[in-house]
Amino acid sequence: MSGRLRAEARLLWVIAGLVVLFGVVAARDATLLQAGTYAAIYAVAAIGLSILLGNVAQISVGQAGFFGIGAYTLGFLMTAATWPAWIPVWLEFLLATLLGTLLAAALGLLLGFIALRFRGHYLAMATLAFGLIAVGLFRESKALGGASGLDNIPFAQFGSLSISGGAAFWYAWGMVAVVVFLTANMLRGRTGRAFEALRNDELAAEVLGVPTRRAKIVAFTFAGALAGLAGTFYSSYLGVVDPNAVGVSLSIDLLLMVVVGGAGGVAGAILGAMLIGISNIYGHNLENWRPVIYGVAVIAIVIAFPRGLAGIILRGRPRSLPLLPSAPDAARVAAGPATPAPNEGATAPRLAVDNVSKRFGGLIAVDGVSFALETGRLTSLIGPNGAGKTTLFNLICGVGRVSSGRVTIAGRDVTGWEPHQIAALGVGRSFQNARLFGDMTVLENVVAGAYRLERTNLASDLLALPASRRSGRRALDCARAVLERLDLTRLANTYARDLAFGDRRRVELARALAADPLLMLVDEPAAGLNASERARLREDLLAIRADGVTVLLIEHDMRLVMQISDRVMVLEFGRLIADGAAGAVRADARVVAAYLGTAH
């Protein structure tokens, strides 16, 4: 568990104590109980939006649409639908709640697919349009009461107990507790690690094996489900639902709760919901001034506390963790790469590039390049700036699309595959400019690198099943082993954004190595390093090769290239002009003229 999650867990216990104290104090005050109940209802919806905004960096201004779907589904089923006589009322309520939540989740899934086509303010506009469409349908539907909405919705039932008044308060906060349990489990699991990597750097996450498109869809679905769940209890608690109650103003209120409380995780969403929810009840006397007060408060909080109220408490650094590997998996990673699967073929090269070209309009960046890399060899790819080296790397790992030709990894044609699919085969990559996850510690960065080794799913994460816990331990042990191997243990609890330049390079190498790769693409790792750092890099690369990992290296440091390379390839204007042993390539007249030059 990361330091932030541990700190948030402690904060949640404090919040739980405050809720219990509030419930006891408000037991004789109907207005206080109502305010507390509304805060709980909004908290459920705000938690989903907090995950979407703070953990996946996706904005939604249409959450009220999902809230309305849940509210109207339960209201319709409890007032207009005919249930079989043998179904008790409490079961009707439970089934209506489930259906409302599932319908909101399904529409969240659909919106997630649509949202993949938008970014930034266009995404905000698309989600806002969804909310407006939902309200319009509610208003125009006669079956849903039109502009007047639905009324006479019965109170929720729990067995023979009618949930209203004080019972509604405790029921609503019990619902929050269940949602917090599931969400916290998810964030501690593989799904949460994928969310955090995506939020920090989407491209780097994808290259590590995180299916970023799927992660966004999961987040939209989850946020939609929680908003729908909140809506179901809202309509049964209030006894009425109308289009005005689930309009754009509610979406903005939910967004305010997340921003004020702190996006990411659950504690901030609850704090924001408590503040805004209670203010909505007690602020009716200032109805005309409430938007002004909210606006000033939000500006003040964003300026003074950009991470919200929860960020004031959770801004501390994580505590140190024991970093000795403790599992067989860690020992295996420290020893070297996994054996290729049987269907990869015993004689298949780790990487084969067959007549690959890449065109950008009329510009040919890579022109008919072909080569194959044998297992356990270190090959350097050199050439002048603009020769197409990094573009070729992008084509190999799926970041760029091949215009013609094909790429084969361990006997499998991966042409046209997504980066996360290629990473899942055991392809690790570093970037020309190190792309670490700045808001994560070194240890968390390297754990993210082990994503492809984990074997769990969303359901297992939500329920914290043994498979999810084993998966997390495996990733952590692998990361610890790699840090120990590269002598980076001392930096484990340092945030990546605080690292020195040379350490950033080595940590990115460690993150790629944590995936237990068969093939590593290393892009200019010596750039900007001093002499001692380059010497250590040389040792690292030779050790990786000695473990049987196939390495393709882009580098401009010719002394390093000539010292460590089993083979050197030279690109010029996208074409391969030389390929062979280091000494032979260094003496090649075309290479001297195109890149190395001569001493005068």
Determine the pLDDT at residue 504. Answer: 93
User: Per the structure block, which two tokens stand in for 480?
Assistant: 């610890």
**Binning pLDDT at 50, 70 and 90, where does residue 284 land?**
low
Q: How far is CA 144 from CA 95, 96, 101, 224, in A?
A: 19, 15, 17, 20
- Band of pLDDT at residue 179, cut at 50, 70 and 90: very high
Tell me which H or E stretch contains 380: strand 378-382
Q: Which pLDDT belongs to residue 347?
A: 60
- Specify whether the CB–CB gap between 19 and 177 falls below 8 A: no
What's the pLDDT band for 288 if we cut at 50, 70, 90?
low
Residue 308's H or E segment, with its range, is: helix 308-314
Superfamily the domain 342-596 falls into? P-loop containing nucleotide triphosphate hydrolases (3.40.50.300)
- Separation CA 424–CA 417 (nearest Å): 11
CA triplet 375, 379, 382: central angle to 5 degrees? Answer: 160
**In Å, what is the CA distance from 119 to each residue of 57, 182, 275, 432?**
10, 28, 30, 25
Mean pLDDT confidence for 529-543: 91
Q: What is the sign of the dihedral through the CA atoms of 554, 558, 559 and 561?
A: positive
Q: How many angstroms separate the CA atoms of 267 and 477, rounded?
A: 28
Query: Which amino acid, residue 25?
Result: V
Question: Measured in whole angstroms, how far is the alpha carbon of residue 489 from the centre of its chain?
Answer: 25
Q: What is the predicted pLDDT for the residue at 331? A: 44
Q: Which CATH architecture has domain 3-314?
A: Orthogonal Bundle (1.10)
Q: Hey, where are the domains in the chain?
A: 3-314, 342-596
Tokens read off for 414? 């991966």
Query: What are the residues facing 554 on neighbouring strands?
Result: 381, 523
- pLDDT for 116 equals 86
CB atoms within 10 A of CB 309: 18
Strand-pair category, 550-554 with 378-382:
parallel
Rounded mean pLDDT of the chain?
87
Alpha-carbon span 206 to 204, nearest angstrom: 5
The two tokens of residue 309 are 């109220």
Q: Are 423 and 483 in contact (CB under 8 A)?
A: no
d(CA 510, CA 537) in angstroms, rounded, equals 11
pLDDT band (50, 70, 90) for residue 41: very high
pLDDT above 70 covers a percentage of the chain that reads: 91
pTM above 0.85, yes or no: yes
As a whole number of Å, the CA-based R_g of the chain is: 28
DSSP run (H or E) holding 417: none
Exposed, middle or buried by CB within 10 Å (0-12, 13-18, 19+), for 405?
Answer: middle
pLDDT number for residue 344: 45
In the three-class reduction of DSSP (H, G, I as helix; E, B as strand; rest coil), residue 406 is classed as strand
Half-sphere exposure of 249 (CA within 13 A, CB side): 9
User: Given strand 412-413, what is the order of strands in its sheet?
Assistant: 363-373, 351-360, 404-409, 412-413
Structure tokens at 308: 């919200």
* Strands 567-572 vs 550-554: parallel, antiparallel or unpaired: unpaired
The DSSP annotation for 551-587 comes to EEEE---HHHHHHH-SEEEEEETTEEEEEE-HHHHHH
Average pLDDT over residues 155-173: 87
Question: Mind listing the pLDDT tens digit for each residue in 51-60?
Answer: 999 999 899 9
Q: Which residue has the higher pLDDT, 294 or 398?
A: 398
70-125 pLDDT tens trace: 999 999 999 988 889 888 888 999 999 999 999 999 999 999 998 888 888 889 89
